[in-house]
Amino acid sequence: MHALSIKLAVTGLAAALLLGGCAMVPPKPQSFASLGQFEQYQLNTAIYRVRFTGDPDMSAATAEEIALLKAAKTTLDAGYRYFVVLDQSKSAPSRRTVVYPDHLAAPNWYGPSWYGPYGLHSRWPYHRHGWGWNDPFYEGVVYNLDPVEVIYTIKCSNTASQKGEEFDARLIMSSLGPKYYLNADGTPRVMVQPMAQKP
């Protein structure tokens, strides 16, 4: 109990010093273009390939939504209303690493560990707990290492088939656009975050 009290006191002091040395920084604009890297290629008269690459911490579901929104925007920008996905490709599950707060935190019985650019790494990518697994001060943190990527090859048209296989680009833009900083007509909607503190 005494050791825990000392640990809490040290943590509180460190947090106070960190907050005391913080300064206000200008807000960073958020936009559709800032979500990741976009590429598009025209393969034929009405066929395009759309590629989106997001940060490693982005979920696959979010990346797919953004890529679908980019496909809808590409369709509208080209003067079409509908598109069908001819082919799609998704990145493999990302490699993961576990980072511990100090070199004593990773137990030997969970497998070998090594130092890398992100600190101490474990060979067991899904293991999260270090020495004293119920102690939050020794909790390991899991990081994804690889970016997430989604590629769609789409064919655009202005008529919908009877099968209804096409996506309605206008509908996608109006439903998903506001979520990812686009207006219903496809124009950018820049959002500004509140003032943040910087050490």
Q: What CA dihedral angle connects 56, 59, 60 and 63, to 10 degrees?
A: -80
Q: Which amino acid is at 62?
A: T
Per the listing, tokens 């130092």 go with 115
Distance CA(174)–CA(182), nearest Å, equals 9
15 — phi, psi (to 5°)? Answer: -65, -40
Rounded to two decimals, the pTM is 0.64
Of 187 and 12, which is predicted with more confidence?
Answer: 187
Distance CA(130)–CA(121), nearest Å, equals 11
Per the listing, tokens 């807000």 go with 27
Distance CA(100)–CA(127), nearest Å, equals 11
Tens-digit pLDDT profile for residues 79-128: 999 999 999 988 767 676 777 766 554 444 444 444 444 444 444 444 44
How high does pLDDT run on average in the chain?
Answer: 75
Domains of the chain, by residue range, sit at 30-93+147-186, 96-144
pLDDT recorded at residue 120: 43
Topology, domain 30-93+147-186: Alpha-Beta Plaits (3.30.70)
Q: Is 78 exposed, middle or buried (0-12, 13-18, 19+ CB in 10 A)?
A: middle
Of 158, 192, 24, residue with least CA distance to 82: 158
Distance CA(7)–CA(10), nearest Å, equals 5
